[in-house]
């Protein structure tokens, strides 16, 4: 932590109460002022002590001010006996996923919840889980890949080009997309997001800025992909603004990379310390949005979401430049996020862990698998699902099960049958690993209208 020779007893001598405020002050000052003169640091601490109210909303010193203003001990929170109201869509959902939602519904802050038809068990909230809470945010309820999203660009290129010049499109994916922890682009865009002062205001973000610059325009591992395919518009919609017919499309699925993962890890740990819960519910530790840490996480989460969107912009820009054509429409939606929304007349924080926002008339993209069609949808704003829909087909088999069940040969047969070229990928993401997307769509006809489809043709994933 640098060379600041500050000790707890120095802070005590300044007049700080002998409680948690000393540890917090020590951590904050060492984290932010490691190279500063100790006298300067002590004068800052004295200033905060004399007038903590003035520093309450300060992103650097707010945590110290809050500790001084509140001498409450961290007490273990208990779960409610009864669950908050909920709704489950679809039948093919494991008991494990349901039980994860049931635990979340007993949190003292929980208002209501829902499970989407693609739901399966995850860490903390199940994937496909939606949870509304009061004035709090649950870092693990948002998830590790903050702001992970789908992004679809529909081009004016005739669809016949995809088959006729397949090698050109394969080369574009090979040369202009990067995946996993180590692949990065040689040249980086100077995106406006890196000029934001949020990076300098929050210590964890300051440390991660270099990594974020390096990973701009790249995709994660696992089920993340970039693909060329056939878009078919089956219902005209003013927002899309395209006549019925077939178009060439680029579809990408990825999130906020190392930036989001490290924000999630840091604040999940901090939330656990601040909000002790019974063992089965510990992953639902929340941060109160009236506290400094709650505001800090909310700010960092929103930045990670914007960064994820900027990454998709960069991926699509590179590919369009490589293959030509013009973007006629763009549809994008994210999951693994928390939103401030009004439900039943009051503001709640809605966590969608692997669930698509489906407010009335909101457009979205729900993918199938690497061989199955995905669907362009328009939300119906159904209150029972907290204005949400599934974020994909959902896994039928866990990653571990897939490694034992499916061989490379099985995957090759399925790809050939559906005329799909796969670059990278592995058995964990086999087309057979996923539920039947048409069953999932049938189970959510009350949640979304279908406006079109996307059939993958050339798929690139992490090796």
Give the residue numbers marked as catalytic: 391
* Alpha carbon distance 391, 448 (integer Å): 12
Is 153 marked within a binding site? Answer: no
Is 392 marked within a binding site? Answer: yes
Is 223 marked within a binding site? Answer: yes
Is 456 marked within a binding site? Answer: no
Is 151 marked within a binding site? Answer: no
Is 309 marked within a binding site? Answer: no
Is 194 marked within a binding site? Answer: no
Give the β-pairing of 448-461 and 421-423: parallel
Under 8 Å between Cβ of 176 and 322: yes
Dig out the tokens for 101 from the structure: 């939602």
- The dihedral through the CA atoms of 218, 221, 226, 231 has a sign that is negative
Is 191 marked within a binding site? Answer: no
Strand partners of residue 229: 249, 456
* Alpha carbon distance 107, 44 (integer Å): 38
| Strands, sheet with 127-133, edge to edge from the N-terminal-most edge strand | 85-88, 110-120, 127-133, 346-353, 337-343
Is 375 marked within a binding site? Answer: no
Is 203 marked within a binding site? Answer: no
Q: Is 231 buried (19+), middle (13-18) or exposed (0-12) by CB count in 10 A?
A: buried
Three-state DSSP at 454 gives: strand
Is 227 marked within a binding site? Answer: yes
Is 359 marked within a binding site? Answer: no
Is 336 marked within a binding site? Answer: yes
Is 89 marked within a binding site? Answer: no
Three-state DSSP at 330 gives: strand
Is 334 marked within a binding site? Answer: no
For helices 166-176 and 292-323, what crossing angle results, to 10°?
140
Helices (H), 105-191: 139-142, 160-164, 166-176
Q: Residues, the chain, total?
A: 463
**Which positions make up the binding site for GMP?**
223-227, 335-336, 367-370, 391-394
**Which positions make up the binding site?**
145, 223-227, 253, 335-336, 367-370, 391-394
**Which positions make up the binding site for Mn(2+)?**
145, 224, 253, 335
């Amino acid at each position: 932590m640098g060379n600041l020779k500050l000790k707890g007893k120095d802070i005590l001598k300044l007049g700080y109460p002998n409680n948690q405020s000393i540890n917090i002050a020590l951590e904050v000052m060492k984290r932010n002022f490691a190279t500063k003169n100790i006298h300067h640091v002590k004068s800052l601490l004295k200033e905060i002590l004399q007038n903590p109210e003035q520093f309450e909303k300060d992103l650097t010193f707010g945590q110290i001010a809050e500790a001084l203003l509140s001498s409450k001990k961290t007490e273990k929170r208990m779960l409610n006996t009864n669950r908050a109201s909920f709704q489950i869509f679809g039948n093919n959902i494991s008991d494990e996923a349901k039980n994860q939602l049931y635990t979340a519904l007993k949190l003292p802050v929980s208002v209501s919840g829902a499970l989407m038809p693609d739901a399966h068990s995850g860490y903390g909230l199940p994937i496909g889980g939606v949870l509304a809470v009061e004035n709090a945010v649950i870092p693990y309820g948002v998830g590790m890949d903050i702001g992970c999203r789908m992004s679809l660009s529909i081009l004016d290129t005739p669809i016949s080009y995809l088959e006729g010049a397949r090698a050109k499109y394969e080369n574009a994916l090979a040369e202009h997309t990067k995946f996993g922890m180590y692949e990065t682009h040689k040249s980086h865009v100077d995106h406006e997001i890196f000029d934001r002062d949020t990076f300098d205001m929050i210590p964890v973000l300051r440390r991660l800025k270099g990594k974020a610059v390096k990973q701009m325009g790249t995709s994660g591992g696992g089920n993340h992909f970039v693909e060329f395919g056939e878009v078919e518009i089956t219902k005209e919609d003013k927002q899309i603004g395209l006549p019925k017919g077939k178009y060439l499309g680029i579809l990408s699925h990825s999130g906020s990379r190392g930036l989001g993962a490290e924000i999630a890890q840091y604040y999940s740990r901090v939330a656990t310390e601040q909000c002790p819960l019974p063992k089965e519910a510990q992953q639902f530790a929340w941060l109160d949005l009236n506290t400094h840490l709650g505001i800090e996480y909310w700010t960092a989460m929103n930045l990670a979401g914007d960064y994820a969107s900027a990454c998709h912009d960069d991926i699509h820009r590179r590919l369009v430049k490589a293959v030509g054509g013009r973007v006629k429409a763009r549809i994008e939606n994210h999951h693994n996020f928390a939103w401030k929304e009004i439900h039943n007349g009051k503001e709640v924080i809605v966590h969608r862990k692997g669930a698509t926002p489906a407010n009335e008339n909101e457009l979205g993209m729900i993918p199938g698998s690497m061989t199955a069609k995905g669907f362009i949808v328009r939300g119906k704003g159904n209150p029972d699902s907290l204005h949400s829909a599934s974020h994909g087909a959902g896994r039928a088999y866990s990653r571990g099960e897939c490694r034992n069940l499916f061989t490379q040969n099985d995957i090759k047969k399925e790809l050939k049958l559906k005329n799909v070229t796969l670059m990278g990928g592995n058995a964990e993401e086999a087309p057979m690993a996923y539920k039947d997307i048409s069953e999932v769509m049938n189970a959510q006809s009350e949640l979304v209208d279908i406006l079109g489809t996307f059939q993958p043709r050339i798929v690139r994933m992490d090796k």
